[in-house]
Structure 1
Amino acid sequence: MFKIFYEDIEIGVEETYGNYAVTREEVIDFAGKYDPQPFHLNDDIAKQSVFGALCASGWHTCAMAMRIMVDRMMAEGFAGMGSPGVDNIRWKKPVFPGDTLSVRMRTTEKRPSASRPNIGLIKGAYEVLNQKDEVVMTMETNAMVLRRTPAAG
């Protein structure tokens, strides 16, 4: 099942992947459930906002990015074991219905876990891009990844 372990991750490697189409229906549905601000739900109000048109919630952008990342991890057999958190989320540009998102990631750090010998910790810098290659969101992630060979205790 797993093919990519902690030992296989190299610092500095950058990859771009994903192809997620943002739909109007999904933007409104997500906003209605989780972030019901008018500029995510109503075209007329959105036109008057700083965004100029109906746009996705930043939290929806996070969720779409997560879907892109997990699809990639599952397809490649990444031995991810969850995350202790995400740092420095920044929404740089609005995401509109009709946009297509992708993710660019670069591994910035890695270290073995001090408390779990079968786990390594990976930090990554992520950029979410639209179809114009514009950065719409950035974040730093922390991931727990299985080690192929657990450290001696």
Structure 2
Amino acid sequence: MQHYEDIEIGDTEEFGEYQVTKDEIVEFAEQYDPQAFHVDEAAAEDSAFGTLVASGWHTASICMRLLVNGILGEQAGMGARGVDDLRWKQPVKPGDTLSVRTEVVDKRVSESDPKRGYVDTRLEGRNQDGEVVITWLAHGMVERRNPGE
């Protein structure tokens, strides 16, 4: 189990591989983001994208799953305080394969709870061509192994 003390500023990880399907793009969008270019192929052809594309929220959800499978599942995580600078850089299309790259950009001990450390991590989601499709800055909380040290 990785604790706050095990994490260093500058740590980077690359992981995950998830192929996005047309059916799941439509299913997600029908439930959460039913804009025409996410649910209707004909309408999507006439959109700025020219084809069906995933909701940005769907892309974020896929990257979150990859993050849990790749790092957070092995970390003494305590949740997050939020996300800043969420950006959708490129549309995600059916057949795209996503992976994730993370970099720890800051860390500090909580002043109000010495059992908790704050870890800020920049995430990039990339497609199979290495193009960045999504970025965000996460403000995570990680349990300290040795509070008070």
Q: TM-score, normalised by structure 2?
A: 0.97
Match of 1:143 among 126, 137, 140: 140
Q: In the comparison of the two structures, how many residue pairs are matched?
A: 149
Higher strand proportion: 2
> Match of 1:72?
70
Give 1:39-118 correspondences, 5 Å limit. Answer: 39-73=37-71, 75=73, 77-118=74-115
> Match of 1:10?
8
Where does structure 1 lack aligned partners over 5 or more consecutive residues? none
Aligned-residue identity in percent: 49
1:73 offset after TM fit, Å?
2.7
SS of residue paired to 1:40: helix
Match of 1:128 among 125, 130, 133: 125
In structure 1, distance between residues paired with 2:52 and 2:11: 35
Deviation string 1:57-97 (CA, Å, 9 cap, x unpaired) is: 0000110010000111355x211110010001000000011
Where does structure 2 lack aligned partners over 5 or more consecutive residues? none
In structure 1, distance between residues paired with 2:72 and 2:88: 26
Distance 1:41 1:92, change over 3 A: same
CA RMSD of aligned residues (A): 1.0
The letter for the 2-side match of 1:141 is A
In structure 1, distance between residues paired with 2:11 and 2:116: 20
